[in-house]
Amino acid sequence: MAYTPMIQQYLKIKADYKDCFLFFRLGDFYEMFFDDAMAASRELEITLTSRDGGGEERIPMCGIPYHSAEGYIKNLVEKGYKVAICEQVEDPKAAKGVVKREVVQLITPGTVMEGGMLEETENNYLASISLFPDNSFVVAYNDLSTGETNVTIIDSGWQALLSELYNRPIKEVVVSTDMDHALQSDLKERLQVTISYQDSTAIPDSLNYLMANLTDERLIESFGRMLNYIQSTQKRSLDHLKPAKEIELKQFMSLDMFSKRNLELTETILRKGKQGSLLWVIDQTVTAMGARMLKKWLERPMLNRARIEERFNLVDGFLEQYFERESTRDILKSIYDLERLSGRVAYGNVNARDLNQLKISLQKIPELKELLMKFQNQRVQALGEEINPLDDLFELLDNSLIEDPPITIKEGGLIKDGFNGQLDDYRDASRNGKKWIAELEQKEKQETNIKSLKIGYNRVFGYYIEVTRANLHLLPEGKYERKQTLTNAERFITPELKEKESLILEAEEKSVDLEYQLFIKIRDQVKEYIPQLQDLADKISRIDVLQGFATISELNDYHRPSFNDHREVNIQEGRHPVVEKVMKNEAFVPNDVSMDKDTNILLITGPNMSGKSTYMRQLALTSIMAQIGCFVPCSTANLPIFDQIFTRIGAADDLVSGQSTFMVEMLEANHAITNASENSLILFDEIGRGTSTYDGMALAQAIIEYLHDHVHAKTLFSTHYHELTTLDQSLKQLKNIHVRAEEYQGKVVFLHQIQDGAADESYGIHVAKLAELPDSLINRANVILNQLESKQTDSADKSNPLDDDQQLSFFINEKKSNQTEKSFKKNDNNLIQNIKSLNLMEMTPMEAMNELYQLQKKANEK
């Protein structure tokens, strides 16, 4: 099929970008053809048309204006697609044949740079993964918009890798082409990321400085994979990339993907949004940089006690001086996103307004520095001393750029008068020329007596004298040369006007060209300050987060926690930070958490809706807040430093992997049991409820015993199996607590108070009544409950409630006991024979008691 040369050019370029939408520049539009056109019309809801491409059939086509392309590109990238931008790279007037075109940038979910396409308070990470023969993984992270680059080694398996990636806002993952397809599919399905490929890992000599901090060859390889991918897609300067830093995961609390989800640290489970999360509560930052840093701190709570205490001391300093802190907040609000501005400078897509934002920000730095020095806390003063105000850079920008420059940088109007002598000369010629034009217009009006005569300008004809048809007879002959005829007027020029026009336009053209050259020079000078700007951005972010901690602590009555090395938990009047905020005008009932060094497990009983899950979560959230350096919601707190937090709270099927609620529950429980240490915190809520009653109780008891005997982690275990509360008699490190509830006039009243000991009943039917189930249903449930409670054993109903004095092991051995009872019914004379057949030496005391109970029961019936 003989396509036209232009379509052939399109197909040749498209062949190198098969997994992308190719935005093919034609004049003022980006056009798409063939399958791209059909897919884009569907995804972007734009009109699908067609054109003649030289073949037998018309080619599907759609297009978007280039000046509004950003919105369309953002739409596609947010859906996980890649967009290749193909521009004209030669002047169409100089082209012989088809204008030369090349892909100048590949925009992917992980390499977005345009400000309008980024969430200002969120990092936008690209990650690369490398697998090594020792089954270790190395992950490299890069936020291209800020230049941040990190690498880390994960040697505890694939699930640990998934959890690590889940804890970061990853948009795209780069892997080798030979990576196992099953692993690739798992990444896509579990993390909802775009997969890209790069096999080259060699780092160019010119970029060796970026790996100066890396010594492990595995780290260098993974970083090299990512760096090559960035270079191949961006095709421009990467001067803003910071040297890669290794993240040693052992220095931070481990939060697996289950825990981060269940605890709703940065987003809620249902709405997938920030509101309702812990981040939503504690975020009192006022800069985009600070908001991103806070989220990173929350994703990686620290284990280093000295570093945590250092943050506490700074929060104390900000907390002590309200007015100075509020003034600090006001100054910070005027500081723009220095991190991303630096990236745009290096990238070459910064405009004069961006540099003006940089100037405004730098103007505030000396004021901030001076204010921090007024704090009495020496550590806060030190923050001020460390700040470099970059006076030279501010002076450069202040002397060069006007206050309100245009968005475009190629049409002039950017540079201040007095910055460049040559530019001032051009401007003077242009301004004087325009003044002469205005004087000429007045002169011509007087000489011709035509009051409506005017001198105008357009790009096609230049300057002209316009006279309406009704006044043409007033023009003197021979002086005016006709230039253009309009419906109701004629346009003329004169030799004098033509001469002046040449001088004016030459000055304006040279002025615009010179302004552009001067702006590029200024931008290149600013580029030299990028490392210092990034360092300043880091310090501003840190100040913002710490003042935010002080602000939220004062607003919500949070207090400084302390730490101990004895694995003791002692929280007085603890509160759940999120629930407390959501309740607004209602009073939150605070509760204590007490676990001495000899108590590892709190077994929590109580009715549904009474607050068991809230109580468990608030301990985890309090620990996380403490280990990021924030004060915590309680009157006092003395905590161990937890190395890991594991949670199994809530029940939900994993539809992606096709796993049931119970399977998810068991997998999460296994993950916690096998990975926890004695310095970990485990939260298990209603383990075992996803299966039959007896199976569930058996598993719950076995898990509790295993945690008690082998893991020794601090554990909060809530349950509705009241039979488990007798375990405190055999497990020395287990303590019963319950959530208090009272029955009043036939209704249950939840007091939300934690007390020692086990709950006496579950109030399930009362809760159903609160949910306003039909009265007839509630009444029937009460009848059934009374019938069940009147029976000692009912093997046909596995949800049969049990008397408090019956033990879980009774049910585990129920099958054996039932078989004994049936044998009695067949032949009562076998009673003695059955007693003789019991092997008492191999039975546990509980099994013996169960058998004796059945024998006594049968004997009484006879």
Q: Which residue ranges are tagged as binding site for ATP?
A: 606-613
CA distance 569 to 559: 16
Task: Quickly count: other Cβ atoms within 10 Å of residue 472's Cβ.
Answer: 14
CA distance 407 to 405: 7
Burial class (CB in 10 A: 0-12, 13-18, 19+), 605: buried
- CA distances from residue 782 to 700, 742, 749, 778, 815 in whole angstroms, order as listed: 27, 18, 18, 6, 28
Q: Which segments of 797-844 does DSSP mark as H helices, in order?
A: 808-812, 814-826, 831-837
Torsion-angle region of residue 197: left (phi > 0), alpha (psi -120 to 50) or beta? beta
- CA distances from residue 521 to 395, 509, 518, 792 in whole angstroms, order as listed: 15, 19, 5, 90
CA distance 125 to 76: 17
CA distance 517 to 691: 73
Overall size of the chain counted in residues: 862
Angle between the N-to-C axes of helices 322-333 and 530-556, in degrees from 0 to 180, rounded to the nearest 10: 140
**For residue 184, what are its two tokens?**
């690739």
Handedness of CA 663, 664, 667, 670 (dihedral sign): negative
Three-state secondary-structure class, residue 273: coil
Binding annotation: 606-613
Handedness of CA 434, 435, 438, 442 (dihedral sign): negative
Place of tokens 């200002």: 120
CA angle 618, 622, 625 (to 5 degrees): 140
> Where in 461-616 does DSSP place strands (E)?
462-468, 481-485, 489-493, 562-563, 569-574, 591-595, 601-605
Handedness of CA 63, 69, 73, 74 (dihedral sign): negative
- Nearest CA to 717 out of 694, 740, 685, 673 is that of 685
CA dihedral in degrees (257, 258, 263, 267; nearest 10)? 50
Helix (H) or strand (E) holding 430: helix 421-448
Give the amino acid at 164. Answer: E
Place of tokens 């919105």: 71
Helix (H) or strand (E) holding 717: strand 714-718
User: Using H for helix, E for strand and C for coil, what is the string for 181-215?
Assistant: HHHHHHHHHHHCCEEEECCCCCCCHHHHHHHCCCC
Q: Which segments of 241-351 does DSSP mark as H helices, in order?
A: 257-263, 278-282, 288-299, 305-320, 322-333, 338-347
478: phi then psi, degrees, rounded to nearest 5: 85, -15
Task: Quickly count: other Cβ atoms within 10 Å of residue 5's Cβ.
Answer: 10
Helix (H) or strand (E) holding 858: helix 845-861
User: Buried b vs exposed e over 447-459: b needs ≥16 C-beta within 10 Å?
Assistant: ebebeebebeeee
CA distance 344 to 342: 5
Give the amino acid at 419. Answer: F
Largest CA distance in the chain: 144
Helix (H) or strand (E) holding 372: helix 352-372
- CA distances from residue 313 to 372, 375, 630 in whole angstroms, order as listed: 15, 13, 10
**For residue 105, what are its two tokens?**
């940038």
Three-state secondary-structure class, residue 293: helix
